[in-house]
Structure formats: structure tokens, C-alpha cells
Structure 1
């Protein structure tokens, strides 16, 4: 059901100014990350860390494993976040518990090679990678999955649509922010958060840039932030998914406009191979 051409995402740290003005959207208040990290790497969640759309997986906990037609008919392209708010309200009305939702999320399969990639990053010296999750899913799904697999400590920040279970057990979901990007859905543009987060972090680092910015994703919403990467940065689009196809289309239609290097991946092992080469360089 999710329109992959209309997925984008954003969120900021709990400090004053810039991206951080949206601090109410952060998963938790966090101290500033260390300023000696050499590389900044962003990960999408749906179909990048997990091998399906976490929102769509909620259908399996609905009565009979289906959503009623009247509910599905309320979906409008570019407004998936609003649609999911209605789906979550319906699930609560049908008696689906927070435990059932969390259990369903914990069972989401990782993409091929992603556990190996997470373990690789966790094994590296602390000054190498600053790792951020940037997703149009929601904070509850992402926190639940990462905690379950033991990968949560890797992520300095998680930027996603804010969510929480209310006193009645309903998962309340809100849009992350508003923006002016015509390419992205009403609730999120990932390019906005990448641009603002980079600017904020470079200020905090005393003007020192990262050696490279890396972006790992799959969807059309991941194409938008990859457009602002610089020469020397690396975009990792999942092989033959919308992000990859859009990058190839741009390369054919407008040669030279896409600045970053492109390394398609089918498995997290492909990303590991490139990261090892980067780390070998002085």
C-alpha cells in the first residue's frame, strides 16, 4: 500500500537551534555525539534495515489478517502518515494490544547481510562512524526492532515520525514536520533533515567536515537526500529498488548532476566491502 515514491523522513537532536528545534520529535533526549567521528552514515529503515515495510506488516495483526476496504480506500498518495494514523486507530478498536504490535515488529526480517553490517560497525573504533537512522516509519517500530536485535547502541540519532502508546493502548502517530519539497510526502522530506543535521553537526565540530557522508537506502524518498551529497560522498542504493532506478535515470538524463559516488547493494556485505576500502585510506 505504501507509495514508495512518496516516502521521506526527518528528525533532530535535543538541543537548541536548527534541526534541533524539532526536538519533540526525537526518540529521546541525547547528549551531543562525539566530535571526532570521521564518517557520517545514514540508514533508512523499511526495506533497508528490515526487509519489508514495517507499516504494511501491521495488516498481519488485524482481525483475519486484512484491513477493511473502507479503510484502505481512505489512502491518498503523499499522505501515508495520515492513513497509518487511521490504521492504528482501527487496530486499537479491534483490541490489538501494544504487546501484539511490538511482537510483530520484532519478527520483521532484516535485509540480507544487514546483521553482519551492524556488527561490523559496532566493532569499529568509536572515532570512525557516526551512525544515524532516518526513516518514514515511526519511533516505536524502529526502537523496538533495534532493541530486540541489540543494534540500538550503534545509532547516535533516530529521526522518524513520533509515536507512543497512549493510556488506552493505541499507538498514536504524528507527522515529523512540514516542508516545501514537492518530491516528498507532506509529513517528511529526508533531504531537509540531512542538510540541517550536517550543518548543525559541522557547527558543533568547530567547522570540521566529515571525511565522507554515506547514505544507505532503497526508496524514492532516499533519492531526495542523496541529491545533496557532495563529490567524495557515497550513495548506497539497494539494487534495482526505486532509489537505484532514479539515480540511473538521472545519470542518463542529466549526466554530472548527481555528485556522489554510487555503490548499489544487494546485501549488507556489499556495504561492508566498500567501508573496509574507505578505512584503509589515510
Structure 2
């Protein structure tokens, strides 16, 4: 993904002084459901044909969604219908309070989205809810409408991680971003890295965090269940030990409570 546009000197200096990096998943973390499911409601009969659902292969969800979007185009589903379906998705409980906190403390927190959704879905929703300026960068699968009006989806990258889907490893994205930002910040690392997620693919980037960092798994979702199982087995998950502190959340206000304590650090 391309790096964000360069900021004016004063803004760049402010960005480079931020103490904390917070990363968000999108589906069922920022928004209250899976955006792919929401878009299917724009299809005829609000469902997919059996041939499409039967063709899904574990670990190849990006390929599946490429076929879904092609089907929507074949059925004459236009951009307006897709955008409307996305804009109707509500935020997760308490997410508005969390965003308001980050707006009030932009001098301390740098925010990024890391998601296996796609650029069109995420950018559309964030703009609709006025949240796009909160995020320095969005890492996700590229998607856009072609000249024929079809929404075309591509994989984010290739990688060698056996734990992650073929199109995206969030740990690779996180490590690359931290290395790049440290260089841009003149060698200054973030004091803490915070990761907010819900899904199984959010476990892998959590393994890149250190003892001073915090992982926020959404309570009773796959990420939380996997981390709880790992804790019961001595703290190890597939790929290595989890070093970060784990703070489960049900509402964005649970995350705010933790961020409020961190912002008081000096």
C-alpha cells in the first residue's frame, strides 16, 4: 500500500512525537458486523447462490469475495446500492466514545486500520461516519470500480506465514509499519503498541507485541477464545508466546478506560 501523503513540517513533527500506536481491525471491531455480509444484502433476494457459497475454500476468503463481487456485477448491482449497504452498518457498541477519545488525544495516539476487508468498504464507511481523519493509514486489500462499473478486489500481498490467509499476514504489515515509522521518527519507537481486534487473524499480529504492549480481543469472539485457550495452556499460541497484556472488551468504552490510564504516563 502506498504511504500517506507527506504532512506539512509542523504536522509531521506532531505525528513523530506521538507516544502510542493503536491498530484496529475493521469487521466486527470498528463496525458491528462483517462488511462482506452487509454487501450481500444488496444482491437479488439478499443472498448468494449455493454454487458460490459451496466454492469457498478455507484460507482463501479473498478469492471468494472476488467471485462474490463479480456475481453482484453480473446481477446489475450498482455502486450506489453497495455504498448504501455499507453506510447502514452501525459501529460496534461504544465505538463512538472510543473515536471521540482519540480525537481529543490526537497528540498522544497514532491510529491505523489493519483489515482483511478492502479499501472501498473501509474508506466508504469511515468517511460516512466522519472517522477517516483519525487514521494515519489503512492497510487492506485494494478494491475499486473499473470502467464497466464492477467492483474489483485484489489481494494485499504475498507472504510466507503459515498461520494467515494467502492474501494477508497482519504481523508482516505491523512489523513493516513499526520499522518504517521508527525510521521516520528519527529512531524513536512508540512507547506502547495497542491492538484492537476480534478475529482469528488478529492473533498473529498480537504475537509481534512486547510485554509493555496491550492486546484488546473482543470478548467471546474468536480472537478472545483463542487467547483464553492459550492462557490455559501456559500462554503459548501457534507461532510463539504472547507477551503483551490482554484486556478483553465488549464495548469501546472498555478500551477507553485503558487508554485513559496510559495517556497519564509521563
TM-score by length of 1: 0.88
Residue-pair matches, total: 256
* 2:6 is aligned with 1:31: yes
Shift of 1:30: 2.0
- Equivalent residue for 2:253? 269
Shift of 1:13: 4.1
* 2:234 is aligned with 1:254: yes
Shift of 1:255: 3.4
Runs of 4+ in 1 over 6 A off after TM superposition: none
Q: Deviations over 1:93-129 (max 9, x none)?
A: 11100011011000111100001111110111x3201
Shift of 1:281: 2.1
**RMSD (Å) for aligned C-alpha atoms:** 1.2
1:225-264 equivalences in 2 (<5 Å): 225-255=205-235, 257-264=241-248
- Equivalent residue for 2:76? 95
Q: Deviations over 1:43-62 (max 9, x none)?
A: 00000001111012222111
Greater alpha carbon shift after TM alignment, 58-67 vs 134-143: 58-67
CA distance in 1, matches of 2:20, 2:2: 18
1:146-161 equivalences in 2 (<5 Å): 146-161=126-141
Q: Deviations over 1:228-275 (max 9, x none)?
A: 100110000001111111111222213372110111000000000000
CA distance in 2, matches of 1:189, 1:30: 24
Q: Deviations over 1:73-103 (max 9, x none)?
A: 1111100100101110110111100011011
* Structure 2 counterpart SS, 1:150: coil
Contact 1:13–1:157 (8 Å) recurs in 2: no
Q: Deviations over 1:9-39 (max 9, x none)?
A: xxx443xxxxxxxxxxxxxx42265211110
* Bigger share in strand: 2
CA distance in 1, matches of 2:205, 2:96: 24
- Equivalent residue for 2:264? 280
Greater alpha carbon shift after TM alignment, 52-61 vs 134-143: 52-61
2:182 alignment partner, one of 189, 195, 202: 202
CA distance in 2, matches of 1:90, 1:254: 46
CA distance in 2, matches of 1:191, 1:258: 13
CA distance in 2, matches of 1:66, 1:213: 39
Shift of 1:171: 0.5
Structure 2: gaps of 5 or more residues: none
- Equivalent residue for 2:160? 180
Greater alpha carbon shift after TM alignment, 244-253 vs 214-223: 244-253
CA distance in 1, matches of 2:229, 2:208: 17
- Equivalent residue for 2:36? 55
Contact 1:44–1:218 (8 Å) recurs in 2: yes
